[in-house]
Chain A
Amino acid sequence: MNYLDKDQMLSIFIQEGFDILDELSNALLELEKDRENTDIIKEIFRHAHTLKGSSASLHSAFQDDTSDIRIAYTGKMAEVTHEFENLMSEARDNGMKLTEEHIDLLFETEQLLETLMHAIDYGEEKEIDISLIHAKLKDAPTPKEETAVSLIQEETDEYGVTFQLLTDLDPDFMYASLFFIYREIEDKYDNPTFSPSISDLEKSVKFENVFVTVYTTENTDIIINYLESIQFITNVALVKDTRNMTNESVPPVPVQEVEKIEQEPLPTISSDVSSPPVAPPTPKPKEETSSVPASSERTSAKKSSQNNSIRVLVDRVDEVLKHASSLVLLRNRLLNHAKKIEDKTLHDIIDEISQTINSQQDAVMDIRMTPLDQLFGRFPKDVRNIAKDFNKKVKFECIGGETEIDKSLLDELGKPLVHLIKNSVFHGIESAEERLAAGKPSEGLLRLSAKHDHGNVVLTIEDDGKGIDVDAVRKKAIERGLLTPEKAANSAHEEIINLIFHPGLSTAKEVNGVAGRGVGMDAVQAVVDKMKGHIEVESEKGKGTKTIIKLPLSLAIIRSLLTKINGEYFSIPIAQDMEAVEILAKDIKYVANKEVYFLRDNEIPIIRLNEFFNIPSQHSNAEKINVVVLTVGNKTVGLTVDEALDLEDIVVKNIGEYLGNIRGISGSNINGDGAISLIIDVNSIINPPKSKKHSH
């Protein structure tokens, strides 16, 4: 049996830590609105307590490992969270009134913890000074924590069933490993109690035996089975069952509540298939809200919802995805080959396999789908801090956080979103005085929203600030040679505004400050491009700015139209409003020496893909031309192909680092017949990358 090693423990610690910090910062924002909200105070206390427990146990398990800077950070974290917990316990148990200064201190503390957490995550060598905040926290009166703990333990003993646990834990890692076992049990049962308790573990109190008491209506055999399934637990013995054996007396959870819990976006990956059989979360017969045992933190609804979820390393999901992707490829090959064989049974089986593979693929993709809330959660705090620093009043709204997107895309999104939000607060929203003078409410509005649209995720960042000064952008663009004065005069409002993504303008600090946007919009665009997304800005001077980012749901498996040009396959990822049409060559008109076609009265520019890719086409002089008409953002174009074949799900394969970025190509996939198809990067064909050579 494997013992959890240090890296595994740290990785679990980091994952959970960030989740808790997210919840903590949300709770602090709530607390700021209502400093006397006892539920929130309790929640914050629990977060502090959990962080203290896990950091202290990690630190005590590995403190001899002085070469590992991460362990030193866990020590610092334990020190800070200890004082943090004390302060919260004072507010929770002794009715200490929290002041505005306290709130600021708590925000600072959260910030420091986040810094420490990132340092642990990256293993960075850097000096993080905790002394100031540590001292500030310590200035609060010391609480009498013992009373709260002992009182509750008596209460809870009555209804539980107690087991002795035998483990084969490595004695050196006993405390830390046991802590993780406790956490696992806590995920399954509400408010279990442990001996040694979690605080005993933190203090490395010596102990002989391990006991756990759980409060559940489950049959003892089921509980024993569950406990024995936990890694490192070798044997479980029933010690005493003090439960009221007539289980009917325990009120079942109202159905509504269960549903509500399940709908809540889980911070973890939830899966009905792989989770262990779980009884509905059973509330303790005692009143839950009155007191929370210190040894069993996190009893909120969120917590019990985790009973239906498991935490899985992303690597493992990726491994499953890899196999699922291979199956999709094999299926495509099988379908292709079977076309040549006449055998009804064979085709029936293939149909079934095909459907199963489709469902499996959907299921795997679903696992990777992550609600945007995981990202959005950090923004209210960021906005609060930025707004405070710049003395601006900002009302921040977050809409559609339940929208899901592939995990890998979610991870990439953080930076550009922070950048755009910062821009809105820095450069968009005016000071309260300016706003009042302009006849706007003194408080600026910043809205971040997300929604699904045509198989895309659309993110919008919108403010009611001063907007982008188009004339300033135009002037600078001419100065920097990005536009000729004639072209500038003829360009549409939107075209000029979207020049802020141009590296030549985007890096020019002064113009952007004036124009109402910050530096680095080109970097934002680069990230969006990398995600095969599309970004555009709408703005009106004095009214505000709206940035729209459109992203695919996932990058791993996408639906696309298979086409052929000169005998080679090309895949065109499906876009909003996409259709393949056959047009007559003579119907193509010319506007400014460019080919255009009128489709249902819409003027569609034609792009000859074979010319774009410098390859001969079998049909360049044909009477009839196959055109794939599609819309990206607000642009509609027609791409010519020799043949438009089928729509199919393709597994995207990277084309290799060596070749770098290829104009017009975003990747490749292996076709059913084994041939390689190139995936067309429609975005870069429609919006050719702005060249950097004019930028200086």
Chain B
Amino acid sequence: MDENIYKEYVTFKVGREYYALNIQYVQKIENTKRIRPVPNTRKEEKGIMDFQGEQIVPIVDLRVLFNIESVEKSSHIIVTKVNDVWVGFLVDKADEVIEIEESDISIDNLSEIIATESNHYIKGIYRKKAEEQKDKTESEQKENEKLLIILNPEKLIERKTA
């Protein structure tokens, strides 16, 4: 499918970072519920969850996968289906759905911004400007600017072999 058709992205927070995933892969955003742990799996694999009584979905904790420390309790699961592979991503909090032009996603300086192994999963960076508010100073505006890390779904579902 032509990804350009889908300009909408689901954004979510993991630790202090904001991530975005193209909406075409997102089936649903669920509140965290009981996850059944599965033995003999990797540490980021938290277990499996029953999705709408139809599908068993493995849950991956993005904080563990990306090595991000967070004190917040994970409150949402982004249920995705990429090339028929179902994975639910455990995140701190789902944020919003926004439109992003493909051309506004930059891939330059990626390694400078995130110098971890997790840039393997990253497609690019998008700077989301805060809505202009007259009563805010320029520096306050800058503070509200978000740096969104656009994830590459195909890479995300490539499980590291144990």
Contact = CB atoms under 8 A, between A and B. Distances in A.
Partners in one complex: yes
Interface of A: 326, 329, 568, 613-615, 653-660, 662-665, 668, 670, 674-676, 678
A676 B36 contact: yes
Given A613-B40, A665-B38, A657 B85 contact: yes
B58 A656 contact: yes
B125 interface: no
Contact of A659 (B34, B45, B49): B45
The 5 residue pairs across chains A and B that have the minimum distance between CB atoms: A613-B39, A676-B36, A656-B58, A663-B40, A658-B58
A676 B85 CA distance: 20
A655 B38 contact: yes
B159 A659 contact: yes
A329 B40 CA distance: 27
Highest count of chain B CB atoms <10 Å: which of A613, A662, A675, A676: A676
B78 interface: no
Given A668-B48, A670-B50, A656 B39 contact: no
A326 B52 CA distance: 11
Highest count of chain B CB atoms <10 Å: which of A655, A658, A675: A658
Contact of A655 (B34, B48, B53, B84): B48
A658 B157 CA distance: 7
Nearest to A662: B40
B150 interface: no
A655 B40 contact: no
B36 A675 contact: yes
A584 B85 CA distance: 46
Nearest to B83: A657
B36 A656 contact: no
Interface of B: 34, 36-41, 45, 48-50, 53, 55-58, 60, 84-87, 157, 159
A568 to B, nearest CB: 7
Nearest to B56: A653
B159 to A, nearest CB: 6
A326 B48 CA distance: 19
Contacts of A660: 159
Given A326-B53, A668-B48, A676-B50, A658 B40 contact: no
Contacts of A657: 84-86
A654 B51 CA distance: 12
B interface secondary structure, majority = strand
A615 B58 contact: no
Contacts of A670: 50, 53
20 contacts: A568-B37, A613-B40, A655-B56, A656-B48, A656-B58, A656-B86, A657-B85, A658-B60, A658-B86, A658-B157, A659-B45, A660-B159, A662-B38, A662-B40, A665-B38, A668-B56, A670-B50, A676-B56, A678-B36, A678-B38
A202 B37 CA distance: 62
Contacts of B87: 656, 658
A614 B39 contact: yes
A331 to B, nearest CB: 13
Given A656-B57, A656-B58, 20 more contacts: A329-B53, A615-B39, A653-B55, A655-B38, A656-B48, A656-B56, A656-B85, A656-B86, A657-B85, A657-B86, A658-B58, A660-B159, A662-B38, A663-B40, A665-B40, A670-B50, A676-B49, A676-B56, A678-B36, A678-B38
A664 B40 CA distance: 8
A608 to B, nearest CB: 13
Contacts of B39: 613-615, 662, 664-665, 678
A326 B159 CA distance: 30
A676 B53 contact: no
Nearest to B162: A660
B41 A659 contact: yes
A384 B60 CA distance: 53
Contacts of B45: 659
Contacts of A676: 36, 48-50, 56
Nearest to A660: B159
A177 B40 CA distance: 55
A660 B45 CA distance: 12
Contacts of B56: 653-656, 668, 676
A614 B39 CA distance: 7
A659 B38 contact: yes
Contacts of B85: 656-658
A614 B58 CA distance: 19
A327 B48 CA distance: 22
Contacts of B157: 658
B86 A614 contact: no
Highest count of chain A CB atoms <10 Å: which of B34, B41, B50, B56: B56
Given A613-B39, A615-B39, A665-B39, A659 B58 contact: yes
A678 B39 CA distance: 10
Contacts of B38: 655, 659, 662, 665, 678
A655 B58 CA distance: 7
A5 B34 CA distance: 47
Contacts of B37: 568, 615
Contacts of A653: 55-56
Contacts of A654: 56
Contacts of A655: 38, 48, 56, 58
A674 B50 contact: yes
Contact of A658 (B49, B53, B159): B159
Contacts of B48: 655-656, 659, 668, 676
Contacts of B60: 658
A28 B115 CA distance: 70
B67 to A, nearest CB: 20
A326 to B, nearest CB: 7
Contacts of B40: 613-614, 662-665
Highest count of chain B CB atoms <10 Å: which of A329, A659, A668: A659
A674 B36 CA distance: 11
Nearest to B47: A676
A333 to B, nearest CB: 10
A655 B37 CA distance: 12
B38 to A, nearest CB: 6
A664 B157 CA distance: 23
Contacts of B84: 657
Highest count of chain B CB atoms <10 Å: which of A614, A615, A655: A655
A73 to B, nearest CB: 29
A668 to B, nearest CB: 5
A145 to B, nearest CB: 52
Nearest to B51: A656
A664 B53 CA distance: 24
Nearest to A610: B39
A331 B49 CA distance: 20
B56 to A, nearest CB: 5
